Amino acid sequence: MKTKWWAIVLMILTTFLTSTAQVFYKFGVATLTFDFIAILTNYNLLIGISLYALGAALMILALRGGDLSVLYPIIATSYIWVGLLSLFIFNEPLNFLRWLGIFFIVAGVVSIGVGSKTAVVA
């Protein structure tokens, strides 16, 4: 099966949504108590869970548009999103080795896409 461009876009959107969910989880744990009612009223956690669910639904749709071996490696871009979101929202540093890791993730995802047996089509 040839991978459709929209399937790649959906996978990238999936990774952004699930990475954003991680940010909401981080905000949610700041006020987390292990009381069932408190968890149900922790809006940051609920938003994070909702974003994960939406990401899962988009991934299911994306997988209809191409090969799993081409689309699934795009999930690795989540590490990039989380790194950048952490930098801008939580002021967590990205040192040289983290930037190097991001470079290798991008290179790996691109090489898997380019090296796939099927081309990306419209």
Which of 7, 2, 19 is CA-nearest to residue 84? 19
What total of structural domains would you count in the chain?
A: 1
Tell me the two tokens of residue 12. Answer: 């990238």
Owning domain of residue 37: 3-121
CB 115 within 8 A of CB 90: no
CA distance 31 to 110: 39
Predicted confidence at residue 114, as pLDDT, reads 75
Predicted confidence at residue 63, as pLDDT, reads 94
CB 75 within 8 A of CB 10: no
pLDDT tens, residue by residue, 9-48: 999 999 999 999 999 999 999 888 777 777 788 999 999 9
Q: What is the mean pLDDT of residues 75-100?
A: 92
Residue 116, pLDDT > 70, answer no
CA distance 66 to 6: 9
